[in-house]
Amino acid sequence: MDILLAHSYYLNEDPHEQAVMKPYPPLGLLYISAHLKARGFDVGVFDTTFRRREDFRRFVARERPPVVGIYGTLMTRRNVLEMARFCKGQGCTVVLGGPEPANYAEEYLARGADVVVVGEGELTLEELLPHLARHGPRNMAHIRGIVYREEDGQLVRTEPRPYIQDLDAQPFPDREAIDIGEYVRVWRQHHGVGSVSLITARGCPYTCTWCSHAVFGYTHRRRSPQNVADELELILETYRPDMVWYADDVFTIHRRWFFAYADELKRRGIRVPFETISREDRLDEEVIRTLAEMGCFRLWIGSESGSQRVLDAMQRRTNAARVREMVHLLQKHGIEAGMFIMLGYEGEEWEDIEATVEHLKAANPDVFLTTVAYPIKGTPYYDLVADRIIPLKPWEEGSDRDLTVAGRRSRRFYRFATRWMVGEVTLHKLRQGHNGSPQDYLRMAKAFVNAKVGRLGMWVTRNVKETASNNSDN
C-alpha cells in the first residue's frame, strides 16, 4: 500500500447527526482515491463513518501503511489530531488535507502532522507520494500546494497549485472502495428511501464573507452534462437509490449548463427524485419548472437573514424580497422549499432579527434551519472580527464553532432568539392551516408559549450587562 486515505468523522460519536441519520460518504476522499489508482498507486481507504476509533487503530497497526492521508473538516479537529498521533506512533508519515488543516497548517504541523495539503489533493498527492517514498517529508519546496517544516524547523509554504481545469478527465469517485450500500441501508432504515450523493462542479464564485473557500477557492469549474449523466446512470444501476443529493454549492448557477443537463437526462429517460441547494438569483420560473420536471422534490435556499442590511454586510449579493418570491414559486411547482438562516452576524440588531422572523412568516418555507454566525479562519468575516475573537475552548479541544466575538450578544441570547423565531413562525403556519382539531390547538399553544418564552428571554439577556465571560454560556 502506498497510502491509506481516511476521513475523521465518526457518526456514532455525533448525537445530533444520529438524530438526523442522513449520512453521505466523503466524496473528496473518493475522488483522490480514484485519481491515484488511475495513476498506478496502491491506495487503501478507511471510511470512519460507521466505524469506531479502535477499528481505525487496529487497521493501521495491522497494515502499517507508509503514508496516511487524513481529511479534516471544521468539526473533526480532535479526531484528526488523535488519528495523526496514533499513525505517527506506528511510523507512518502523516499528510493532512481538507478545509480545516489548510486554515490551521502551522497548528497541525506543531502537533504531529508531516505535511498539510492546501487546495485540491489529487495532483499534489500524485507528486508528493513518490517524493516521500524516496526522501521522506523533507526538501519538498518544489512541490506546489503544501505546507511543511524542514528539519531545522523552518516553516515552508510552497507555491499554490493550479486547480484541475478538465474535470471530465478525472475518474468518478472511487465508491467501490467503501460500502456505499451501508449508506443506502441507513437511509432506508430511517427515512424509507435510500440516497447517494454526487457533485457536478467544483468551487463557488460568490463572496459571502463567512464562507470558507479553503479547498476550491473562488473558482467555478463544471463537468459536462454528458459526464455527469454518465455518473448518475452508473449510480442508479449500481446502488439502486431512491433519490440522489446533488451536493453542489449552487446547483443552478450556470443556466445554459443546467438546461443542457436536464435535456441530457430527458434524452436518456432518467428521472430520479433529488434534493439540492441554490440561490434566489439563480432561480426563475423556467428553472424551477425544469427542476420539478427533473424530479427535484426539495430545494434549499441560503436566505441567511430577512434584513437586507445584514445581507449586504455579508456580501451575499442576494435580495430578501426575491427569496420569498422564489420560495412561493418552488411550492407552486410542487417542490418543498428549505431555507438556511444565520443569526448573530456582525452588526445585526434586534430589528434585524425581527425582520428575519417576518421574512420567514411571509416566505412560509416548508422547513428552515438556523445557526449562529461563527468566524471561520481564512474568511473575510474572521478577518473583520479577528481582534475581538474569544476562544471558548483550548484549540486542541474545540473548533471554529467554539469561537465567539466580544461585544456580540451571548449564546444564551441567541438560544432564546432561535426559540422565539421557531415559535413565531410555527404559530403563524398553524394559524394559517389549522382545521380546528384539538391537536392543532395544542400545537398552537405550545408554539405560543415557545415564542413568548423566547421573546422574554431575549429581552432579559439584552438588558443584562454582558461581558466576555457570559459569551461562553452553554
Q: Please, are residues 414 and 372 in contact by the beta-carbon 8 Å criterion?
A: yes
Pick from 66, 187, 218, 56: nearest CA to 132: 66
- In the predicted model, is pLDDT for residue 473 greater than 70? no
- For 78, the 3-state DSSP assignment is helix
Non-local (6+) Cβ contacts of 345 within 8 A are: 210, 304, 305, 310, 313, 314, 373, 381
- In the predicted model, is pLDDT for residue 284 greater than 90? yes
Instruction: Determine which helix (DSSP H) or strand (DSSP E) holds 36, and give its type and residue range.
Output: helix 27-38
- In the predicted model, is pLDDT for residue 474 greater than 50? no
469 versus 290: the higher-pLDDT residue is 290
Would you list the DSSP string of 140-206?
-TTSTTEEEE-TT--EEEPPPPPPP--GGGSPPP-GGGS-HHHHHHHHHHHHSS-EEEE-SEE----
* CA atoms of 391 and 414, how far apart (whole Å): 18
Would you list the DSSP string of 390-449?
EESS-GGG--GGGEEETTSPPHHHHHHHHHHHHHHHHHHHHHHH--S-HHHHHHHHHHHH
Phi first, then psi: give them for residue 146, nearest 5 degrees: -135, 160
Residue 16: its pLDDT value, please? Answer: 86
Mean of pLDDT values over 107-129: 97
* CA atoms of 386 and 217, how far apart (whole Å): 21
Confidence bin at 467 (pLDDT 50/70/90): very low
Confidence bin at 59 (pLDDT 50/70/90): very high
Residue 465: its pLDDT value, please? Answer: 53
Residue 147: its pLDDT value, please? Answer: 98
Work out the mean pLDDT of the chain and round it to a whole number: 95
- For 464, the 3-state DSSP assignment is coil
Residue 470: its pLDDT value, please? Answer: 45
Find where cell 507528486 sits. Answer: 127
- In the predicted model, is pLDDT for residue 472 greater than 70? no
- Read off the C-alpha cell for 257: 449548463
Pick from 222, 229, 240: nearest CA to 263: 229
- Read off the C-alpha cell for 137: 517529508
Residue 359: its pLDDT value, please? Answer: 98
Give the domains, in start order, of the chain with CATH numbers: 3-157 (3.40.50.280), 179-373 (3.20.20.70)
Q: What is the pLDDT of residues 320-346, one digit of tens each?
A: 999 999 999 999 999 999 999 999 999
Q: What is the pLDDT of residues 351-395, one digit of tens each?
A: 999 999 999 999 999 999 999 999 999 999 999 999 999 999 999
Find where cell 473533526 sits. Answer: 76
Mean of pLDDT values over 202-221: 93
295 versus 16: the higher-pLDDT residue is 295
Residue 464: its pLDDT value, please? Answer: 72
Q: What is the pLDDT of residues 431-463, one digit of tens each?
A: 988 777 888 889 999 999 999 999 999 999 988
Q: What is the pLDDT of residues 7-46, one digit of tens each?
A: 999 999 889 889 999 999 999 999 999 999 999 999 999 9
Q: What is the pTM of this model?
A: 0.94
Non-local (6+) Cβ contacts of 459 within 8 A are: none
Non-local (6+) Cβ contacts of 365 within 8 A are: 301, 327, 337, 338, 339
Confidence bin at 223 (pLDDT 50/70/90): very high
Residue 173: its pLDDT value, please? Answer: 98
* CA atoms of 224 and 257, how far apart (whole Å): 8
Could you tell me how far CA 35 lies from the centroid of its own chain?
A: 23
Q: Please, are residues 145 and 158 in contact by the beta-carbon 8 Å criterion?
A: yes
Mean of pLDDT values over 253-260: 98
Residue 170 CB-density burial (10 A; 0-12 exposed, 13-18 middle, 19+ buried)? middle
Residue 24 CB-density burial (10 A; 0-12 exposed, 13-18 middle, 19+ buried)? middle
- In the predicted model, is pLDDT for residue 270 greater than 50? yes
